[in-house]
Amino acid sequence: MPSNADLDRQIEHLMECKPLTEAEVRTLCDQARAILVEEWNVQPVKCPVTVCGDIHGQFYDLIELFRIGGNAPDTNYLFMGDYVDRGYYSVETVTLLVALKVRYRDRITILRGNHESRQITQVYGFYDECLRKYGNANVWKFFTDLFDYLPLTALIESQIFCLHGGLSPSLDTLDNIQALDRIQEPRGVGVTEVVSFSCSESIKIPPKMPWGQGDASGVRLWSEFSGFCFFSSFCRRKRCAGSSPEREWSCKDMPVFLDWCSPQRVGIDSSLERNWVNILKGAGKLQSCPLDDLRRGRDGGGLVPVPHEGPMCDLLWSDPDDRCGWGISPRGAGYTFGQDIASQFNHTNGLSLISRAHQLVMEGYNWCQDKNVVTVFSAPNYCYRCGNMAAILEIGENMEQNFLQFDPAPRQIEPDTARKTPDYFL
């Protein structure tokens, strides 16, 4: 196993935005897994500590964060997930954070975000970046296997509850969260190789995804579906001699095709005219496929569902909302929760605050729900175009709170990569 001197050398190397070798990454992930397996679903954290939100592969902004907040181990850090995807340097970003965790295990806490997932990283950039930088998917596998071991939440001095997303209707207490089996891929919404099915009465449609229910027009189906899902295009047509059918059809014989966030934005009519649609296959690669092949689907057809529910999923995906009670999340996973829910959760568990990330906020942080909840977002100028500030939350020795805002680091030369990831900001 590498010594502290080896780790210091690797960290110095990474701070210059230079990736480690594949063998070094594998050893580092093995070391990190041995540490993380001993940590709790609700990991206790002592103050003082600095709490950080999404990073999303924006490596130079992470370095700016350390410049503003202080370098480890002089400053204790708690990161609330989403280290990869979107930005150009997911590999260097997550490797540096994991190396810091291994080197300073009691001073760095890294939680799991909804992007620390096999499915999501195959679409939003991390998988392709690993292929580009290492020539194979081994490093991607090392990290995604490690992600299964990341704690779901943290608790600062029994008072401030930290997590990536939000609350769950299945979890009333911290003990409920502690009892979860977290060593698994979260059952969150994601991408399957081909999402398609031939409608029939025998198929049970998930209640949150009500496409293909009964006889309905395409207009109404689109309206209903877009309220529950973030797929950019929805094609529900039966090919009739190369032209569009009448507006209404029976769902018993209508194939369903989902074209998830295609940059080409292929329309229904043009797809039908050429008898092809664009689909996501494998590692989020856009490929064309004949409609007849999609009708048959895999293994002779049938629904290929993507699980999108469960308490672990909720912790990574849910969002606070101005409306009271629980609501259906427009993300297609998790829930929205109102001030009444957050207030009751804090009261039940003796908490003063819920600190979470997961949502872009233009000032870098945002109080909501009568200051029961605060959102912290630490990726300035998100996706290199949103123009937002970033922030980190300092919790002092006496639990005093102080936000530090910062702008993007000076723009570096961007890698020559085609940006093919979907526009939806997960």
Please list the active-site residues: 115
CB atoms within 10 A of CB 319: 21
The Cα 275–Cα 273 span in angstroms is: 6
CB atoms within 10 A of CB 401: 14
Residues recorded for the chain: 426
Q: Which residues of 98-130 are buried (b: 16+ CB within 10 A; e: fewer)?
A: bbbbbbbbebbbbbbbbbbbbbbbbbbbbbbbb
How many Å is the Cα radius of gyration of the chain?
Answer: 22
- Reduced to 3 states (helix: H, G, I; strand: E, B; else coil), residue 22 is helix
Contacts of 305 by beta carbon, 8 Å cutoff, 6+ apart:
192, 206
Smallest CA-to-CA distance from 425 within 331, 322, 329 is with 331
- Reduced to 3 states (helix: H, G, I; strand: E, B; else coil), residue 387 is coil
Output the six-digit token pair for 67: 């410049």
Which backbone phi and psi does 328 adopt, to 5 degrees? -80, 130
